[in-house]
Amino acid sequence: MRGGVVAVTGATGFIGSHLVPLLSSRGWKVRAVVRKPQVEMPPGVEIKRADLLDPPSLFSALEGAQAAYYLVHSMEGERDSKFAERDRQAAENFKGAAEQAGVGRIIYLGGLGEVRPGISEHLRSRTEVGRILSSGPIPVTTLRAAIILGPGGASWEMLRQLVERLPVMVTPRWLETHCQPIALRDALGYLAGCLDSQDTKGGSFDIGGPDIMTYREMMQTLAEILRKRRCIIPIPVLTPRLSSYWVNLVTDVPAALASPLIEGLKNEVICRENRIRELIPIPLTPYRDAVRMALAGKV
């Protein structure tokens, strides 16, 4: 029932900063859980300081929440050997604090991609976080997404800046991998819609837009929309680490962040099932429209 307290971790991030005002506009009492309380939030939004690696701070931030969103991921790159360990510890802390605080349900945004040999460590870690959250007594709804197209998203910004700034792009062969991107507006619609759908409670769902494309097709379509002629040349020997340095030189995305993003290009990320479309029937945004909205800074 709307009107209850909903806690949002990662409230200042790419997804959280848009989800908080959406939930508030729908009548929920939103509690933004942040590490630094000196942030601006919409009127009526409660701000609570907490650190996922500091369990005592989490209890007060989650106490009394009808639901809690887990929107925190470590994006510091596979070269940081402890990022997966931090992700696991944060998930364990959150699970324990949520149980003690009496949270009714958890909604987690994870990543698409099947766990198999060769999967990127970042995608593997996101899957592990979902498993940890779901191992407790609180029902967890997991939404799994590929690239989310919207202003401020790291994957989108990397894609946009590469196409805008490079007439000729030398890319890894994984550019032929298939992906099912989703518009930020649609991802938010699913995240917020879960609160009104009891049938999503405790389930795992793939979310994606209506278009399945290769990364090459995504970049070429973006170039057409920008009215720029671009030449894309795949190079088999271009490693993710070399690619991340190249991206760091050309875009505003730092190498430590670009590395896990590029590493994930080798994994096909498409929806294996579409049950969420029946439970939360929202109109899906085609790729071209999602790109135009992102370019205009719209949600």
Residue 15 CA, chain-centre distance (Å), reads 7
Number of domains in the chain: 1
**Is residue 253 included in any domain, yes or no?**
no
Q: What is the pTM of this model?
A: 0.91
Domain that holds residue 190: 5-146+183-208+270-284
Write out the two tokens for 161.
């800046």
**Is residue 166 included in any domain, yes or no?**
no
**Is residue 156 included in any domain, yes or no?**
no
**Is residue 90 included in any domain, yes or no?**
yes
pLDDT for 47-87, tens place per residue?
A: 999 999 999 999 999 999 999 999 997 654 444 557 778 88
> Tell me, what CATH number does 43's domain have?
3.40.50.720
Q: Quick check: 28 and 2 in contact, CB under 8 A?
A: yes
**Is residue 89 included in any domain, yes or no?**
yes
Write out the two tokens for 176.
């032929």
**Is residue 251 included in any domain, yes or no?**
no
What span, in angstroms and rounded, lies between the C-alpha atoms of 270 and 96? 32
Average pLDDT over residues 257-273: 75
pLDDT for 190-225, tens place per residue?
A: 999 999 999 999 999 999 999 999 988 999 999 999
Neighbours of 139 (CB within 10 A): 17
What span, in angstroms and rounded, lies between the C-alpha atoms of 217 and 72? 30
Write out the two tokens for 174.
């994984």
